[in-house]
Amino acid sequence: MKKQTDPRMHSAEHILNQTMDRMFGCGRCFSAHIERKKSKCDYHFDHDLAADEVAEIQDRVNRVIGDDLRVTESYVAKGKAEVLYNTDKLPASVDSTVRIVHMGEYDACPCIWDHVKSTREIGGFRITTTSYEDNVLRIRYKLSTPENASNT
Ligand SMILES: [Zn+2]
């Protein structure tokens, strides 16, 4: 059964994952805990983040949010999705067709959850803390309320 996630927080997770993979080649988070007020994502990683790395991740994520990219979906056959995308986190109940969620041209990822309609609705992205243990980097983040939210 589908559980609720907060669309703003969860959409921010998509952008954060793409940003982390572009900067560090670490892939998307292998575990995420998304709540309305604060969320956390865990990555297989080789070091804790330095302050300048945290700042750059925040800058990049906020730039994508500020670009107000349209969030769209497309559908591909499961076999094709498994070649093009990481489908590890899809539930086994997804059988023939996989929904791919696009954040403009920035990110595309198979996903079953709800998202914002465009990235500006997410609001300001801020990393609160990071921690590192046993080759796992945990990033905790919060969002501020979006200015001029077009869909509330
Ligand atoms: Zn999603």
Q: Where are the domains of the chain?
A: 7-143
Main-chain dihedrals φ then ψ at residue 88, nearest 5 degrees: -55, -35
- Strands of 1-135 (E only): list them: 31-33, 39-44, 71-77, 97-103, 107-110, 125-133
pLDDT at 90: 80
Query: Does residue 84 sit in helix, strand or coil?
Result: helix
- For residue 50, the CA-to-ligand 1 centroid distance in Å is 28
- For residue 53, the CA-to-ligand 1 centroid distance in Å is 24
With tokens 């804790």, the residue in question is 48
pLDDT tens column, 92-117: 787 789 999 999 999 999 999 999 99
pLDDT at 148: 57
Q: How many whole angstroms separate alpha carbon 91 and alpha carbon 125?
A: 28
- For residue 110, the CA-to-ligand 1 centroid distance in Å is 7
- For residue 101, the CA-to-ligand 1 centroid distance in Å is 7
pLDDT tens column, 33-79: 999 999 999 999 999 999 999 999 999 999 999 999 999 999 999 99
- For residue 99, the CA-to-ligand 1 centroid distance in Å is 10
- For residue 148, the CA-to-ligand 1 centroid distance in Å is 23
Mean pLDDT score of the chain: 92
**Cα dist. 124→15, 19, 51, 109, 114 in Å?**
12, 15, 18, 22, 19
pTM exceeding the 0.75 threshold for the entire prediction: yes
- For residue 112, the CA-to-ligand 1 centroid distance in Å is 6
Q: Which fold has domain 7-143?
A: Threonyl-tRNA Synthetase; Chain A, domain 2 (3.30.980)
1 vs 18, residue with greater confidence? 18
pLDDT at 3: 63
pLDDT at 1: 42
